[in-house]
Amino acid sequence: MLDFRRDFEAHARQQYPREACGVVVDGKYWRCRNIADEPTQDFVLDPWDYAVASFYGKVEAIVHSHPQGGDASDVDCRSCSGTQVPWHIWSMPDDEWITVNP
C-alpha cells in the first residue's frame, strides 16, 4: 500500500459523511479542508491549504473520498485533466482505491 493511503483513510473516516480531500507532496499526505457548498456531495480543496502544502514540495496527486461509494465521476475525470496530476479516490463502502490519470 502506498504510504499516504493509510493517513488519508484515517482522515476520510474522521470527515464522514463529508468528502475528505488533500494532496500528496513528496509521497506524504497533506490534509486539506473541503470548502464545497455541499461537502457530502462534492469537494473543493481549500486554496490556502493547497498553497501551504505546495510550499513544502511538488504536489504529486490530489486525493479525495467517495463516502457513499462509486467510481470516478465525469467531473473527477475532467478536473484531473485540468490539474495535470493523478487523482486518487477512496470509495469508502467498497474499501477500494481508484486512480485517474490526466
- Report whether 32 contacts 23 (CB < 8 A): yes
Cβ atoms within 10 Å of 20's Cβ, excluding its own: 26
Question: Cis peptide leading into 93, omega within 30 of 0?
Answer: no
> Quick one: pLDDT band at residue 1, thresholds 50, 70, 90?
very low
- Rounded CA-CA distance 58/56 in Å is 7
Residue 61 has pLDDT above 70, yes or no: yes
pTM assigned to the model: 0.94
Query: pLDDT class for 2, splitting at 50, 70, 90?
Result: low
Q: Assign domain 3-100 to its CATH architecture.
A: 3-Layer(aba) Sandwich (3.40)
